[in-house]
Amino acid sequence: MGKYLAVFKTNMQAALTYRGEMTLWIITSFLWVAVLPFVWLTVYGSQESIAGFNKSMMVTYFMLIPVIEALTSSWIDFTIRDEIKEGKINAFLTKPMNYLYKGFWGENGWKASRPFVSVLILLALYPFIHNYFYLTFHIRLIWLIPVLVVSRILNFIISSIIGMVAFWTTRNNWATQIWWAIQTVAAGYLAPLAFFPSHIQKIISFTPFPITLQIPINIILNTVSTDQIVWELGKGVIWILVLGLLLIALWKKGIKKTEGIGM
């Protein structure tokens, strides 16, 4: 475990060294979601509430997206793709370190300070949005930690699977683009899932998407029941097991292919 903590610390130090790049990434995320609340406020018009979300809840929903994303998102697919294409992955095969564990802890280190920067930006925006900011303190907030952990692991596994596509093709950007196009809609980046038709909500409810963004935000807004949280956690764990097995299988087949080419 000590070697992975060392990887975590090294990447955290690297992120602090290039903090300008990190801050720019987070500001860009906020600028993207900052437009959507005003679009939805226009949709609301004189209505005070739509699908259980009042105007304050809607603005808060979008302001929380960059914070949750900073905690749970994963872009390890780009790292895996580049290391496969450049042959750097071969060097890790001779080291006493699990490549995926290394990637997980390394990315956690790189992301460690991002939530704090996101919160600081949110605090800076608060004077301008305080009339439309909605936060409540309730007992279900204790579920937020396990939900974020499951979401983080799930996002990492999915991103790793996408990265592994590079074992078979040098152009795997299409996989990343397809995933993010689907997730943008199904995870709730464009609108809360409650705004979707009931049959679409039912389909999405069986996928891993809700827990990656929608459920953490709904917990904060207190718009989800304890039963629903438990269901999403259980479903998330099942998806982790299923996709984790797929990831291991892809890794083993990819490594055999690399060795077959001539490591």
Q: What is the pLDDT of residues 136-187, one digit of tens each?
A: 788 889 999 999 999 999 999 999 999 999 888 867 678 888 888 899 899 9
pLDDT of residue 25: 67
Place of tokens 């499951």: 150
- The answer to which of 26-40, 179-193, 238-252 has the lowest mean pLDDT is 26-40
Domain-wise residue ranges, the chain: 2-262
Q: Is 27 exposed, middle or buried (0-12, 13-18, 19+ CB in 10 A)?
A: middle
Rounded to two decimals, the pTM is: 0.87
Tens digits of per-residue pLDDT, 62-100?
A: 888 888 988 899 989 988 988 888 888 877 777 778 888
Whether residue 19 is predicted with pLDDT greater than 70 in this model: the reply is no
112 or 244, higher pLDDT: 244
